[in-house]
Structure 1
Amino acid sequence: MTTVHHTAITTTTNRVFATGACDQTRYVHDPLTGLTHRAEGLIALGRTRLPGSSVASWPTLHPGELDREVPVSVCWSPLVRCNLACPHCLDDKAVPELARKDRQRIAALLGESGVLAVDISGGEPLLLRDLGELAATLTSSGCVVSVTTNGWHLQRRAEALAGQVDAVRVSLDGPDAESHDHWRGSGSFRRAVAGARAAVAHAIPTQLQTVLMTSTQGTAQRMVDLAEELGVHGVTFLQMLPIGEGAALADAELLTDEQARATVAELDIPDAVTVRLRTRDDAGGFTVIRADGRVWRNDSVAEGITTLHSLTNPSDLALTGRDGSA
């Protein structure tokens, strides 16, 4: 079950969510937080506008609890190119990128598959000139779309993104330039903060994301305070996964899920901010589509992958294992 720290939400703003039904259960996926909630009462199915405060108050559930043939949500990394070189990156930089027409093919397959939500990541997705086209293909098929970005190019692209995506998640590894730029390079904090401010100014639902490691654990409270200052919705703390390039840091930087929970439990969280912790247990079974168009699933403890096969038709996303993958 996803670990969430709830706070009192003061906003009543309607946002776009993805909704679905299995048997007698109706559920709502939030493209901003990545959480799936059990709906209380009847709701329309598909892309639906709902009050964010209402959805946040509904109980969360692990998508693996639902009897679905495909995941509720997936991460799609259509490129490995990035303007930064973060040592804890999950990507394998040796993976080849598909051509533009093949990216459109993947977007169409995802739209046909029955997946409710797609987080477009990377690499750095704002380097894609066809990002808007990919998002349009997905949203026209009924998906909700979020973008996870390092924020470097977000300020100049925020106005266009406001009409293209349902949420933006800005990656920050520290609450100030010294701590963040240690991981991501000089100037990264300034650009990311400017991008987050621009996204908020253009009314894009915006979330901060930070990888929780031994080195960043001590700045968690200041990350929450920064979220309040920027006016974003909240912070998601992501337990570091020893996958991709980040595997080299595992011995020095991995926290246990129990240590991560204790860190979040001690936070003083303002009323206007939400905080989520995604543990490695939560990330078990999650589905990723790589830049080469191949599908992987995290293993049950999110320390490796269990499958790797090409995405050539919607059935390639099937949860054949029925092991709680989501």
Structure 2
Amino acid sequence: MIPPASTPPTTLTRTFTARRCDTGFVVHDPLTGQTHRADTELPSGRVRLSDADIAAWPEVHPAAVQADVPISVCWSPLVRCNLACPHCLDDKTVPELARPNRHRIAGLLAESGVLGVDISGGEPLLLRELPELIDTLAAGGCAVSVTTNGTHLARRAEALATRVDAVRVSLDGPDAECHDRWRGAGSFDRAVAGIRAAVAHGIPTQIQTVLLRSTARTSARPMVELAAALGVYGVTFLQMLPIGEGAALADAEQLTDHEARGLLAELTTTADVAVRLRTREAAGGFTVIRADGQVWRNEPGVQGITTLRPLRGVHDLALSGRDGSA
């Protein structure tokens, strides 16, 4: 079961993607990564909707939707990063494809029928051709989000504003003391400057933060307060996954889903931001395209990479099981 998110009071109109499925229409939200079942007929593809519309439609896990390809995917076109977060999901030993192959993958995703693509990394804002990749995906009907550490967002926000549908900025603490302990000196101030720039340019923006046992109890409430002060849409608290660089920290830092739910239940949500928890249970089923062009899925109930296959064509995204959420 996916914990419900609180609803922001300020109604935004922004871009989503929709398509008909077995029981009606499903809608992918590029800002939160959530999938909703619409109770009305919608045009297929990219569509402008209000948050009030989305709030009225129930959330569904993509595993409950009969589909030939994932509802959404996380694409990490590079492993390079200007930071070295010890809990990173990425495996820094994975080789990166050359630029032509990145464009090939963008083209495949654009024609695949996938509703949402979250471009992650590594640090995606290090890619010079990022705007071109976003344009290719959007032209194919995808809703496109970028997950970033935010340190390069201030200088790239203007160019992204007319292209990207949402930005998710990762923070590991509500202040420099906490955040920089994980990500390095000065990274908090640069990330906050990036968030301010994205909001100023009208990019739908949210904060994402990984719940770590050593900091979660003292940081959760101040993180929500920071989100309200910065004017972002909301905060998604992510349960840590024992994958990539973060596997070494799993025993010491992972909370159980029960503990995470209890922690967020204690929060007094401000009136200005939505708060969401992505449990470890709900993370089961997401599809990732790595920097080397191989596809893996976090199968429901499995917390790690168990199978890999190269992405040579759209058929390599075909679902063999009921999974596929980002």
4+ runs of 1 displaced by more than 6 Å? none
Q: What is the deviation of 1:38? A: 1.2
Question: What's 1:295 paired with?
Answer: 295
1-structure distance, mates of 2:220, 2:20: 36
Give the stretch that moved more between structures: 65-74 or 20-29: 20-29
Whether the 8 Å contact between 2:145 and 2:166 is mirrored in structure 1 is: yes
Whether the 8 Å contact between 2:107 and 2:137 is mirrored in structure 1 is: yes
Question: What are the Cα deviations for residues 110-168 of structure 1, in whole angstroms up to 9, with x where unaligned?
Answer: 11111100000000000000000100000000000000000000001000010120000
RMSD, aligned CA: 1.0
Residue 176 of structure 2 corresponds to residue 177 of structure 1: yes
2-structure distance, mates of 1:4, 1:262: 13
1-structure distance, mates of 2:146, 2:69: 21
Question: What's 1:63 paired with?
Answer: 62
Secondary structure at 2:49 match in 1: strand
Question: What's 1:270 paired with?
Answer: 270
2-structure distance, mates of 1:111, 1:131: 15
2-structure distance, mates of 1:37, 1:63: 9
Question: What are structure 1's unaligned runs of at least 5 residues?
Answer: none
Whether the 8 Å contact between 2:36 and 2:58 is mirrored in structure 1 is: yes
Question: What's 1:231 paired with?
Answer: 231
2-structure distance, mates of 1:290, 1:51: 32
Question: What's 2:26 paired with?
Answer: 27
Secondary structure at 2:264 match in 1: helix
2-structure distance, mates of 1:56, 1:146: 20
1-structure distance, mates of 2:281, 2:259: 13
Whether the 8 Å contact between 1:283 and 1:301 is mirrored in structure 2 is: no
Question: What's 1:305 paired with?
Answer: 305
Q: What is the deviation of 1:2? A: 2.3
Whether the 8 Å contact between 2:19 and 2:42 is mirrored in structure 1 is: no
Question: What are the Cα deviations for residues 15-49 of structure 1, in whole angstroms up to 9, with x where unaligned?
Answer: 00011111232111100011111112222221000
Secondary structure at 2:111 match in 1: helix
1-structure distance, mates of 2:92, 2:12: 39
Whether the 8 Å contact between 2:31 and 2:167 is mirrored in structure 1 is: yes
Equivalence map 1:244-259=2 (5 Å): 244-259=244-259
Secondary structure at 2:251 match in 1: helix
Percent identical among aligned pairs is 67
Give the stretch that moved more between structures: 176-185 or 14-23: 14-23
Question: What's 1:75 paired with?
Answer: 74
Secondary structure at 1:194 match in 2: helix
**Structure 1 pair 134/4, CA: closer, same or farther in 2 (3 Å)?**
same
2-structure distance, mates of 1:173, 1:232: 16
TM-score by length of 1: 0.97
| Number of residues of Structure 1 aligned to a counterpart in Structure 2 | 324
Whether the 8 Å contact between 2:138 and 2:144 is mirrored in structure 1 is: yes
Q: What is the deviation of 1:302? A: 4.4
Please tell me the residue identity of whatever aligns with 1:296: W
2-structure distance, mates of 1:208, 1:39: 26
2-structure distance, mates of 1:54, 1:321: 30
Question: What's 1:315 paired with?
Answer: 315
Please tell me the residue identity of whatever aligns with 1:227: A
Whether the 8 Å contact between 1:281 and 1:302 is mirrored in structure 2 is: no
2-structure distance, mates of 1:180, 1:158: 22
**Structure 1 pair 52/165, CA: closer, same or farther in 2 (3 Å)?**
same
2-structure distance, mates of 1:302, 1:150: 26
Question: What's 2:159 paired with?
Answer: 160
Question: What's 2:96 paired with?
Answer: 97
Secondary structure at 2:224 match in 1: helix
Secondary structure at 2:220 match in 1: helix
TM-score by length of 2: 0.97
